[in-house]
Amino acid sequence: MKSGKRSKDKVDITIVGGCGHVGLPLGLGFANAGKRVVALDIDAAKVAATNEGKMPFVDRGADELLAKVLANGKFTCTTDPAVISEAEVIVTIVGTPVDEHLNPRFDTIQEVILESRSRLRDGQLFILRSTLFPGTTERVAKLLAKEGFDIDVAVCPERVAEGVALEEITSLPQIVAGVTPRAQKRAEKLFKLLAPEIVPMKPLAAELAKLFTNAWRYIQFATANQFYMIANDYDMDFYEIHRAMTQDYPRAKGFPKAGFAAGPCLFKDTMQLSAFHNNTFFLGHAAMLINEGLPNYLVQRLTRKHDLSHMTVGILGMTFKADSDDPRDSLSFKLRRVLQPQCREVLCTDPYLSLPWLTPLEETVSKSDLIIIGVPHSEYKKLSFGNKPVVDIWAQTKQGGAVV
């Protein structure tokens, strides 16, 4: 499959990993602001689809904007890494994932830099966009200097919610942290094209701000999930208690509902923060045990009330959040694995995914003896399940949130 064609005009910005959930909305935003942007990606299918005007995932307003910036020549995609040398600014979406031991992997971003040595050039601005293990930005700057480059380095962590990234890029303050004053000035100037406000920081503080944000959300969700389990174990309706706590009471306004806390960021970033602090982030580890243990808790409760070995159980929703097409690290998949040895059959459905083992919604509902709402997609709100037992930890349906 051919990579995207590039104009001979100057490239302002090359985004490495530019067809993903983080890179593509950012590229569209900069293109809409008048910059000439090229999205570099190793996924040839995504590159081809995006160049044809087809968004590879759901993001509000992106379909229309993609068509616009493709038509005016401000945006294109390619698989050709030569575009790195053509750009004034390089934005990399590569971060520091965690390995099987929950330790951060700096080698991932180091490999990207070393593989790009022949294409980088002096005078470029190199921006780190993804979540990073604290200290990574400074390490990248030292690595580039060691390789003999005079390149400005900054970290400008993404802070947007998936599905509305394009909207939030231009509505939320942007943290900007340059390794040097010159890098700071250049990065601030660039993001002032998009963000309503710039929040200047030091690189380490910016990296921690991103991790703190995601760990805080993860802990909040764990608190709600722990309270849900306590209420449920005493046959109390968690959502009746939730309403009593939050109704016209400002100090409980931010208390979230229960549900699967999943996705590619919250768990990973909480574990990165723990690794950074010598694995003594006890709140983070407790949150991980609660959130990751919720699928097991649901199944254990169900086995007390139902003989699952003679039942077909349907899971509605397999993505990691409502009305999203992203299945990464979704706990619905874990729920399916835990249920399969217990049940006669497990059927799964999701309107946003196309997987060979998924079944249509109507078939899943009609054939199942028990329904579990895995993800609260909007279209499930008005479903009728008759007298079938429904487990709805989100309180999305009329059946409520108790484990029956």
Q: What pLDDT does 4 receive?
A: 42
Query: pLDDT tens for residues 254-304?
Result: 999 999 998 888 999 999 999 999 999 999 999 999 999 999 999 999 999
Which domains occur in the chain, in start order? 11-202 (3.40.50.720), 214-391 (3.40.50.720)
Q: What pLDDT does 104 receive?
A: 74
Q: What pLDDT does 186 receive?
A: 98
3-class DSSP string for the chain: CCCCCCCCCCEEEEEECCCCCCHHHHHHHHHHCCCCEEEECCCHHHHHHHHCCCCCCCCCCHHHHHHHHHHCCCEEEECCHHHHHHEEEEEECCCCCECCCCCECCHHHHHHHHHCCCCCCCCCEEEECCCCCCCHHHHHHHHHHHCCCCCEEEECCCCCCCCCHHHHHCCCCEEEEECCHHHHHHHHHHHCCCCCCEEECCHHHHHHHHHHHHHHHHHHHHHHHHHHHHHHHCCCCHHHHHHHHHCCCHHHCCCCCCCCCCCCCHHHHHHHHHHHCCCCCHHHHHHHHHHHHHHHHHHHHHHHHCCHHHCEEEEECCCCCCCCCCCCCCHHHHHHHHHCCCCCEEEEECCCCCCCCCCCHHHHHHHCCEEEECCCCHHHCCCCCCCCCEECCCCCCCCCCCCC
Q: What pLDDT does 400 receive?
A: 60
Q: What pLDDT does 116 receive?
A: 84
Using 70 as the pLDDT threshold, list the residues of the chain that sit under it: 1-9, 96-97, 101, 399-402, 404
